[in-house]
């Protein structure tokens, strides 16, 4: 009974009287502004004073009743769609109401999804921060961003926000982070993937190891030594430099693994300290030194020069700053010839039994 009574009381007071609600633009898109205008074509009296109020689905908008016949909405979103109308109230408390207008806010599908990196170019130093930035050229409303790693598409993270860009952060880049990445964005019209971006994690070189390889236990002037330098860790390419008493002998570049070598034809001046250096543009590392002494020239009657050499044999030399450690020494002694290996003397009779081909002295980490 009460609702019917209220309806009978409101009916003569709430009239349209030609009151119109004008929506501009009439078909808004998300994120764009909309202006609502309450217009009364049949009431043009200049001395008439009105108060205006705008509504959406029975909810008053803006400041409520105001003397302005216009209401500016800065940004319209999908959830703002609904039934709109306006009311005008005269000084005599007579209320005029416009017809309802249905406003549908259109969402713009995401398009042109791209993935960028910080630092730019997809190259990051090991241990540094890496950020993958997913962006869309257009798209409105809440956008869901997803990041994937590798060809199989391992999902790393999912974010939903009202923004055209979103970030995924790797605080400390590791060697295992070197991979291809892509992102996906969607706002209700289907997922849109970006292209693949390759990430390279740059690794400084480790301290290299120097190995000196000789063709016989007692190398002499005229023999050829092979100096081999290798850093066990570091991004390629790596440039290796070889030194004798801090004088550059030569250099060689290694585009991939395995290190680099330098051949040296011995002269009487080649005794001394040898070292090598590795550099991949992220800092240089110098090996420990190997000290070698060469004396004399072997006679053509020396029976050791005619020994067969079918199989290489390695004698590792452990370089250490400890005083008094044995150093490998080449000597020209036809009867008691020996070479220092791991702090003991190995006589020539033992060398013959072990099929001597060559001997290697190399630096290792302490």
Q: Is the peptide bond before 22 cis (omega within 30 degrees of 0)?
A: no
Residue 287 corresponds to which tokens in the numbers above? 């090996």
Please give the backbone phi and psi of residue 198, each rounded to the nearest 5 degrees, phi first.
Answer: -90, 130
The closest of 63, 65, 67, 69 to 22, measured between CA atoms, is: 69
Long-range contacts (CB closer than 8 Å, 24 or more residues apart) made by 209-212: 209/287, 209/362, 209/363, 209/364, 209/365, 210/274, 210/275, 210/276, 210/287, 210/288, 210/290, 210/362, 210/363, 211/360, 211/361, 211/362, 211/363, 212/274, 212/290, 212/292, 212/317, 212/360, 212/361, 212/362
The stretch 288-310 carries a mean pLDDT of 58
Distance between CA atoms of residues 33 and 19, nearest Å: 23
Domain boundaries, the chain: 20-103, 111-202, 208-292
Q: Sorting pLDDT into bands at 50, 70 and 90, what band is 297?
A: low
**10: how many CB neighbours lie within 10 A of its CB?**
11
Whole-structure pTM value: 0.62
**20: how many CB neighbours lie within 10 A of its CB?**
15
Predicted local confidence at residue 44, as pLDDT: 52
Number of residues assigned to the chain: 366
Q: Which CATH class is domain 208-292?
A: mainly beta
pLDDT per residue as tens digits for the range 110-134? 999 999 999 999 999 999 999 999 9
Q: Estimate to the nearest angstrom the gap between the alpha carbon of 313 and the chain centroid.
A: 45
pLDDT per residue as tens digits for the range 174-231? 999 999 999 999 999 999 999 999 999 999 999 999 999 888 777 788 889 899 999 9
Distance between CA atoms of residues 281 and 199, nearest Å: 18
Predicted local confidence at residue 198, as pLDDT: 96
Please give the backbone phi and psi of residue 318, each rounded to the nearest 5 degrees, phi first.
Answer: -90, 110
Predicted local confidence at residue 274, as pLDDT: 94
Predicted local confidence at residue 159, as pLDDT: 97
> Mean pLDDT of all residues in the chain?
78
pLDDT per residue as tens digits for the range 9-59? 333 345 555 789 999 998 999 889 999 999 877 655 444 688 999 999 989
Q: Sorting pLDDT into bands at 50, 70 and 90, what band is 295?
A: low
User: Looking at per-residue confidence, does 290 or 338 come out higher?
Assistant: 290
Distance between CA atoms of residues 284 and 278, nearest Å: 6
The stretch 148-175 carries a mean pLDDT of 94
Task: Give me the residues paired with residue 111 across strands.
Answer: 138
Distance between CA atoms of residues 226 and 228, nearest Å: 6
CATH topology of domain 20-103: Immunoglobulin-like (2.60.40)
Superfamily per CATH, domain 111-202: Immunoglobulins (2.60.40.10)
Q: Which of 249-253, 324-328, 340-344 has the lowest mean pLDDT?
A: 340-344
User: Is a pLDDT exceeding 70 seen at residue 321?
Assistant: no
């Amino acid at each position: 009974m009460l609702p019917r009574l209220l309806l009978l009381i409101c009916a003569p007071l709430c009239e349209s009287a030609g009151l119109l609600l004008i929506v501009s633009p009439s078909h808004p898109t998300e994120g764009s502004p909309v202006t609502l205008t309450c217009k009364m074509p049949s009431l043009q009296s200049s001395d008439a004073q009105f108060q205006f109020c705008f509504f959406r689905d029975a909810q008053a908008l803006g400041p409520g009743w105001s003397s302005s016949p216009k209401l500016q909405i800065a940004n319209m979103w999908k959830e703002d769609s609904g039934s709109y109308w306006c009311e005008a109230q005269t000084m005599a408390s007579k209320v005029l109401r416009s017809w309802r207008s249905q406003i549908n806010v259109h969402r713009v599908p995401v398009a042109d999804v791209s993935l960028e990196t910080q630092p730019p170019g997809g190259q990051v130093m090991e241990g540094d921060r890496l950020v993958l930035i997913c962006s869309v050229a257009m798209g409105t409303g809440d956008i869901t961003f997803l990041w994937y790693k590798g060809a199989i598409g391992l999902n790393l993270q999912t974010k939903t926000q009202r923004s055209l860009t979103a970030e995924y952060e790797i605080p400390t880049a590791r060697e295992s982070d070197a991979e291809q990445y892509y992102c996906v964005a969607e706002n209700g019209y289907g997922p849109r993937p970006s292209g693949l971006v390759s990430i390279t994690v740059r690794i400084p070189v480790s301290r290299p190891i120097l190995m000196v390889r000789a063709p016989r236990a007692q190398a002499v002037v005229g023999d050829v030594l092979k100096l081999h330098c290798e850093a066990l860790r570091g991004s390629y390419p790596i440039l290796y430099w070889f030194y004798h008493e801090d004088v550059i002998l030569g250099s060689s570049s290694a585009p991939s693994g395995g290190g680099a070598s330098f051949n040296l034809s011995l002269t009487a001046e080649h005794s001394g300290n040898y070292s090598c250096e590795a550099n991949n543009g992220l800092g240089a590392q110098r090996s420990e030194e190997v000290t070698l002494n060469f004396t004399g020239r072997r006679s053509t009657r020396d029976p050791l020069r005619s020994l067969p050499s079918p199989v290489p044999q390695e004698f590792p030399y452990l370089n250490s700053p400890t005083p008094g450690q044995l150093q490998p020494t080449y000597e020209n002694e036809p009867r008691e010839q020996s070479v220092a290996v791991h702090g003991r003397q190995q006589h020539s009779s033992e060398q013959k039994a072990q099929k001597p081909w060559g001997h290697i002295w190399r630096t290792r980490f302490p």
